[in-house]
Amino acid sequence: MKTKLMKAAQQVINSWEKGNLAGAVNRMRAVLEKMEPATKVQKQNARALYGSDNIEIDEDALASDPKDGSGYWVSAWVWVSED
C-alpha cells in the first residue's frame, strides 16, 4: 500500500524527464504541508502506550492533524523479524 507521500514522490520521479515536473512538485508540497512534527506530548504518549523493543517512536516522528480531537496518529517504526 502506497502512502500519499510515496505516490507524490513517484510522480516527481516519473515527471523528471517527461511530464509536468512543476505540477508533480506542487502536489508533493501539498502532501508535505499536511504533515506536522509530533509534539513532545504526542511522542511521550505514544511511547508510554506502545513503546517497546519492537516499536520505536523517533524524535522526528510525524503526527496527523486530528480532525475531531479524539486522538492522533504518530509515526513509528515496527520491527519485523526475518523469521
Do 25 and 47 share a domain, yes or no?
no
Per-residue pLDDT of the chain (83 residues; tens, 9 = 90+): 456 777 888 888 888 877 788 888 888 888 777 778 888 999 999 999 998 899 999 999 988 766 777 888 888 999 999 98
* Same domain (yes/no): 72, 47: yes
Same domain, 11 and 28: yes
Question: Are 28 and 47 in the same domain?
Answer: no
Judge whether 57 and 46 are in contact, CB under 8 Å. Answer: yes
Domain of 70? 37-78
Whole-model pTM: value is: 0.58
CA–CA gap between residue 37 and residue 45 (Å, rounded): 14
Q: Which three cell numbers stand for residue 43?
A: 511522542
For residue 83, tell me if it sits in a domain.
no
Examine the domain organization and report whether 20 and 50 are in the same domain: no
Number of domains composing the chain:
2
